[in-house]
Amino acid sequence: MAKQPPKRAWQRMLSGRRLDLLDPSPFDIEIEDIARGLARVARWNGQTSGDHAFSVAEHSVVVEHLFTTLNPTSSREDRLVALLHDAAEYVIGDMISPFKAALGIDYKAFEARLEEAIHLRYGLPPKMKPALKKKIKQCDLYCAWFEATQIAGFDPVEADKFFIPPPRDIKVIIDPLPVVRAETLFLERFADLNGA
């Protein structure tokens, strides 16, 4: 019986990089690949109103904006971590929270390894400090509340049950962008924060 070749566990990127998903190397991560992937990943599994899906790239920019607004003395590094909070989704997609919960801890560990490689690639600590993670998660849930009530069909009362209602003085308009514009927006914000 012929020996079966090992299953492929790497993803070829348009940059030419080959990212090993089981053992991701910071050397195989490029911001252009991240931006391209995130701009093409739809939040809410695409179940949103409007002509365009609301991409993870655009969501990431909104979360970083909320984080910066609520933490005006935060460091450039912390803002960059906020922008990259969902960066692993450029290769694994945006799985909705109920599905992540169903998959369990192994999925979280897999996602964490990829996140650590991304952080190392851009000179960030591999693991987020718990206090920073909590602040970013809060902004992520605020953003999800705005998305839920503006484009995903939730009324505010229902959204309040699943997400954190943002402070009343914080206003965000969720306006899903075309893919290329979302990619550019993400890259521009990354360049601002990365000092490029």
CATH code for the domain in which residue 114 is found: 1.10.3210.10
Give the angle 54-167-187 at the CA atoms, nearest 5°: 35
Which pLDDT score, from 0 to 100, does residue 93 have?
Answer: 79
Count of domains for the chain = 1
**Structural domain for 37, as ranges:** 26-194
Question: Which tokens hold the place of 89?
Answer: 């989704």
Question: Which tokens hold the place of 132?
Answer: 């920073």
Residues 6+ apart with CB under 8 A from 165: 142, 145, 156, 159
This prediction has a pTM of 0.91
- Residue 136, domain member (yes or no): yes
- Residue 19, domain member (yes or no): no
Residue type, 60: S
Which pLDDT score, from 0 to 100, does residue 96 have?
Answer: 66
**Segment holding 17, helix H or strand E:** none
What whole-number distance in Å separates Cα of residue 40 and Cα of residue 57?
Answer: 8
- Residue 7, domain member (yes or no): no
**Segment holding 185, helix H or strand E:** helix 179-194
Chain centroid to CA 107: 16
- Residue 1, domain member (yes or no): no
- Residue 9, domain member (yes or no): no
- Residue 14, domain member (yes or no): no
Q: Are 22 and 9 spatial neighbours (Cβ–Cβ below 8 Å)?
A: yes
- Which residues of the chain carry a pLDDT beneath 70? 1, 5-6, 96-97, 100, 103-106, 196
φ, ψ (nearest 5 deg) of residue 10: -130, 155
What whole-number distance in Å separates Cα of residue 75 and Cα of residue 108?
Answer: 27
φ, ψ (nearest 5 deg) of residue 17: -70, 155
- Residue 178, domain member (yes or no): yes
Partnered with residue 42 across adjacent β-strands are 55
- Residue 13, domain member (yes or no): no
